[in-house]
């Protein structure tokens, strides 16, 4: 994360979900000193939760973050459906959920919403193969560079 901001901490954990973040939020003492928080989570929730539960978890996370923070809520990235699509995880569902996340973010004055999907996807709406690790879901360094380019202005 230092490629985004010099003094930053990455609390990203492999296979993490909104429930994992909710459970760990009380442990993050640095939130009281933070200027901004970036939330990019949700793809691992898709096979486990319906949209209403997932949105409730996002709302609970926003509610538990300290006042005065800039909150950047990043859309769930598209997937490469040839590799990663399951009935519970599809680009159609991700697009629908991202529209709801955007609306949720608009209801919180601290929240800034970014959706890098348009730059990460191919003409079919799938995550471009040159932007993922080969699993169709997780960004590789080139994919993260695209996301970071969109993220940086939101932190100014």
pLDDT category, 15, cuts 50, 70, 90? confident
The C-alpha angle with vertex 96 and arms to 35 and 78, in degrees rounded to 5, equals 70
**Residue 10 reports pLDDT greater than 80:** no
pLDDT category, 8, cuts 50, 70, 90? low
Percentage of residues of the chain with pLDDT beyond 90: 81
**Domains detected in the chain:** 18-155 (3.40.50.1110)
Reduced to 3 states (helix: H, G, I; strand: E, B; else coil), residue 86 is strand
| Alpha-carbon gap, residue 133 to 139, rounded angstroms | 6
Q: Is the model's pTM score more than 0.75? A: yes
**Do 92 and 86 meet the contact criterion of CB atoms below 8 Å apart?**
no
Reduced to 3 states (helix: H, G, I; strand: E, B; else coil), residue 130 is helix
What's the confidence (pLDDT) of residue 156? 82
Reduced to 3 states (helix: H, G, I; strand: E, B; else coil), residue 53 is helix
pLDDT category, 3, cuts 50, 70, 90? low
pLDDT tens figures, 86-141: 878 899 999 999 999 999 999 999 999 999 999 999 999 999 999 999 999 999 99
Residue 122 in tokens? 């191919």
> For tokens 């680009």, what's the residue?
91
The beta-strand segments (E) located in 3-150 are 36-39, 70-74, 111-114
**Residue 48 reports pLDDT greater than 60:** yes
């Amino acid at each position: 994360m230092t490629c985004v901001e010099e003094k930053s901490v990455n609390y990203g954990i492999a296979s993490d979900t909104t429930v994992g973040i909710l459970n760990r939020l009380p442990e993050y003492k640095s939130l009281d000193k933070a200027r901004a928080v970036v939330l990019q989570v949700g793809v691992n929730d898709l096979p486990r939760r319906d949209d209403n539960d997932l949105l409730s978890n996002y709302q609970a996370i926003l509610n538990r973050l300290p006042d005065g923070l800039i909150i950047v809520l990043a859309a769930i990235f598209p997937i490469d459906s040839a590799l990663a699509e399951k009935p519970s995880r599809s680009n159609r569902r991700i697009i629908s959920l991202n529209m709801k996340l955007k609306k949720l973010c608009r209801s919180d004055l601290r929240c800034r919403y970014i959706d890098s999907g348009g730059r990460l996807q191919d003409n079919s709406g799938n995550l471009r193969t040159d932007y993922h690790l080969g699993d169709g879901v997780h960004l590789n360094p080139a994919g993260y560079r695209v996301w970071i380019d969109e993220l940086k202005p939101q932190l100014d």
